[in-house]
Amino acid sequence: DAKTTQPPSMDCAEGRAANLPCNHSTISGNEYVYWYRQIHSQGPQYIIHGLKNNETNEMASLIITEDRKSSTLILPHATLRDTAVYYCIVRVGGNQGGKLIFGQGTELSVKP
Amino acid sequence: NAGVTQTPKFRILKIGQSMTLQCAQDMNHNYMYWYRQDPGMGLKLIYYSVGAGITDKGEVPNGYNVSRSTTEDFPLRLELAAPSQTSVYFCASQEIRDRGSEAFFGQGTRLTVV
């Protein structure tokens, strides 16, 4: 089973920040949090990953709480092209082995 | 680099037929995965491989077989196709590193069993 829980859906206005939450209360100390998204029925696309420090790249920012039991993916200026299903993932079985198990994700709708 | 290439893109099978979905990656990644995605649902892991010659079951392995004779290729075999195997199949590859790494996905194979 997936080690994360996410809300099934969210809306966001175009141009505003989209904040997508994720709970991973059973995460172990050395396990990374990954975010992927899937647009329409294309193959999932990697967004970002982090361990305990906040991370930022050209696509998004990842904020991980100090206890590491939850995180938030931030799309700073959402566009209509960001409408997708967003998956928060912790590898089942650890970083050096294990499996990449997807949960149900959050369906983000960016509206004009 | 082509990344992860899946063939075919579309296929219609009759009940009871067999087929092999092909997946190839040119990034020398150690891990490879097969997923299926039913309409409106998330991805379910079928099988995965941690390197050539090593495979293991995922969440939904029944009705499928895999092999990994080379680093590059990870074919998925369907024996005796059933309507319940109608789905979109995704292959992915990943190089597992200490600092975490991204998985790369193919564009999928859309399979219909009638």
Query: Does the pLDDT at position A92 exceed 80?
Result: no
pLDDT band at A95 (very low <50, low <70, confident <90, very high): low
Q: Report yes or no: B81 and B13 within 8 Å, Cβ to Cβ.
A: yes
How far, rounded to the nearest angstrom, does the alpha carbon of residue B87 sit from its chain's CA centroid? 12
Q: Side chain identity at A2, as an amino acid letter?
A: A
B29/B33 Cα distance (integer angstroms): 11
Question: Is the pLDDT confidence value at B97 over 80?
Answer: no
Model confidence band, residue A28 (pLDDT cutoffs 50, 70, 90): confident
Residue among B99, B101, B50, B58 at smallest CA distance from A2 = B58
User: What is the radius of gyration, based on Cα positions, of chain A?
Assistant: 13
Percent of chain B surpassing pLDDT 90: 87
Residue B94: list chain A partners with CB under 8 A: 100
Residue of higher predicted confidence among B22 and B39: B22
B45 vs A contacts (CB less than 8 Å): 99-102
Tell whether B102 is within 8 A of chain A (Cβ). yes
> Rounded to an integer, what distance in angstroms lies between the CA atom of residue B114 and that of residue B99?
45
Closest CB to A43: pick one of B42, B44, B105.
B105
Contact A44 B42 (CB under 8 A): no
| Dihedral angle computed from the Cα positions of residues A39, A16, A8 and B61, in that order, rounded to the nearest 10 degrees | 30
Inform me whether the pLDDT recorded for A111 exceeds 80: yes
Dihedral, CA of residue A25, residue A26, residue A32 and residue A35, to nearest 10? -50
B36 CB within 8 Å of a chain A CB: no
For residue range A8-18, list pLDDT tens digits in order: 999 999 999 99
For position A96, what pLDDT does the model report?
60
Confidence of residue A1 (pLDDT cuts 50, 70, 90): low
> Which has the closest alpha carbon to B30: B52, B4, B56, B3?
B52
Distance of alpha carbon A50 from alpha carbon A60, whole angstroms: 12
Which DSSP letter does residue A44 get?
P
> Of B35, B58, B100, which is closest to A32 when you measure between CB atoms?
B100
How close is the nearest chain B Cα to the Cα of A104, in Å? Answer: 5
Q: What is the DSSP letter of A99?
A: B
pLDDT band at B59 (very low <50, low <70, confident <90, very high): very high
Cβ of residue B38 closer than 8 Å to a chain A Cβ: no
Distance, in Å, from the CA atom of B112 to the CA atom of B114, rounded to the nearest integer, reads: 6
Query: pLDDT tens digits for B85-94?
Result: 999 999 999 9
> Starting from the edge strand earliest in sequence, which strands make up the sheet with B4-7, in order?
B4-7, B19-25, B76-78, B64-66
